[in-house]
């Protein structure tokens, strides 16, 4: 009986940690979904751009011993800028109807960014600063890690800021108009190219925060992070439904929690196998995601 309680508590602890860390997956998922909403195309470079942004943040840390908060801010800005470049290179001048060309361009850019990082860092992982790494909150049986709580709080704040821009400002209204009916949006006076570019920058800002958070939670920044974050981002986007922001938030938390439960039950070697199976389960049984609806455009 005592064993059962210990297991239940440890499982609860796993779920709590997973939900907190899952908030970074939610951010990445929102980024994928925002860009999909605007372009109706996947941007496979997104997670790599997020990690690249974190590397730029790390430069500020290593050479100027900047405060971790500033490191996060620089990561975010750098990732936003990279997002703009990705838009210009992989989307802006490629014909709208050529979905495959844009997809391949972003896959190419993903590998390109990875190669650049590997070249510059000699593929060795670098220590990344964390905030509140030593703090923890004791809730009796379970406890909450300070760094994860910070990650969660920052993700919530970023998401809230995004939702504010999207639903309460003129820029957000234009973005939603473009994603729903881009021909009519142009003829309502909206510069579609500029709006799309802005969407990439905004998604990049979120991605940079997520990239820096991931590095802070893991403790190191490594080019090996791009693949798992890309995969998790895609899973979250599929589970949440392409184009759905609430879906991405819920799915991000779900995938974070599920990942930790699999880790607890089956160990670190098998964890990702089950997480990936989630992708196929959803693609087969709920291809439109948990909410079954995406932003549409004719």
Partner 1 sequence: MLELKGVTKRFGGVQAVNGLDISVAENEIFGLIGPNGSGKSTTVNLICGIYPVTAGEIVFNGKNLAGLPPHKRLRAGIARTFQNIRLFPNLTVWQNLLVARNSMEDVHSQSFLARWLGETRHTRGEIESILEFSDLADKADDLASNLAFGEQRRLELARAAAAKPRLLLLDEPAAGMNREEVQDLIHRVRGLRDSGITILLVEHVMQLVMNVTDRICVINFGQKIAQGTPDEIQNHSAVQEAYFGTTAGDPD
Binding residues for partner 1 (CB under 8 A): 168-171, 173-174, 176-177, 180-181, 183-192, 295-296, 298
By the 8 A CB rule, do 10 and 264 touch?
yes
Helices (H) and strands (E) in the chain, counts: 11, 4
Q: Which two tokens stand for residue 288?
A: 């439109």
- State the minimum distance, in angstroms, from the CB of residue 28 to partner 1: 24
User: For helices 2-39 and 192-218, what crossing angle results, to 10°?
Assistant: 160
- Closest to partner 1 by CB, 168 vs 266, is 168
Nearer to partner 1, 249 or 275 (CB): 249
Q: State the nearest-atom distance from the C-beta of 60 to partner 1, in Å.
A: 28
CA of residue 278 relative to chain centroid, distance: 17
Q: Closest CB to partner 1 among 92 and 176? A: 176
CB of 242 to partner 1, least distance (A): 15
Min dist. Cβ of residue 292 to partner 1 (A): 15
Query: Which pair of structure tokens corresponds to residue 190?
Result: 């909206």
Report the interhelical angle of 192-218 vs 46-64 (nearest 10°). Answer: 60
All residues at 6 or more sequence positions from 275 whose CB lies less than 8 Å from its CB, including other chains: 232, 235, 255, 258, 259, 262
Nearer to partner 1 (CB atom), residue 197 or residue 255? 197
Give whichever of 104 and 201 is closer to partner 1, judged by the CB atom.
201
């Amino acid at each position: 009986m005592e064993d059962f309680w210990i297991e239940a508590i440890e499982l609860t602890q796993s779920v709590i940690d997973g939900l907190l860390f899952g908030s970074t997956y939610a951010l990445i998922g929102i980024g994928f979904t925002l860009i999909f909403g605007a372009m109706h195309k996947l941007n496979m470079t997104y997670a790599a751009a997020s990690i690249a942004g974190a590397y730029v943040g790390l430069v500020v840390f290593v050479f100027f011993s900047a405060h971790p908060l500033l490191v996060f801010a620089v990561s975010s800005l750098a990732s936003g800028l990279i997002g703009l470049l990705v838009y210009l290179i992989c989307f802006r001048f490629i014909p709208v109807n050529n979905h495959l060309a844009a997809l391949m361009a972003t896959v190419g850019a993903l590998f390109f960014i990875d190669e650049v990082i590997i070249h510059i860092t000699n593929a060795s992982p670098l220590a990344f600063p964390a905030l509140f790494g030593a703090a923890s909150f004791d809730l009796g049986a379970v406890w909450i890690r300070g760094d994860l709580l910070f990650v969660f709080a920052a993700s919530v704040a970023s998401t809230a800021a995004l939702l504010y821009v999207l639903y309460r400002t003129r820029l957000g209204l234009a973005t939603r108009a473009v994603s729903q009916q881009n021909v009519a949006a142009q003829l309502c006076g909206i510069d579609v190219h500029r709006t799309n570019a802005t969407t990439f920058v905004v998604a990049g800002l979120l991605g940079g925060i997520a990239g820096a958070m991931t590095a802070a939670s893991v403790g190191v920044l490594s080019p090996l992070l791009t693949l798992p974050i890309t995969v998790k981002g895609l899973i979250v986007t599929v589970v949440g439904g392409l184009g759905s922001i609430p879906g991405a938030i819920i799915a991000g938390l779900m995938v974070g929690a599920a990942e930790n439960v699999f880790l607890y039950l089956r160990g670190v070697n098998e964890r990702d196998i089950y997480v990936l199976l989630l992708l196929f389960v959803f693609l087969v049984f709920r291809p439109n995601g948990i909410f079954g609806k995406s932003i549409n455009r004719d």
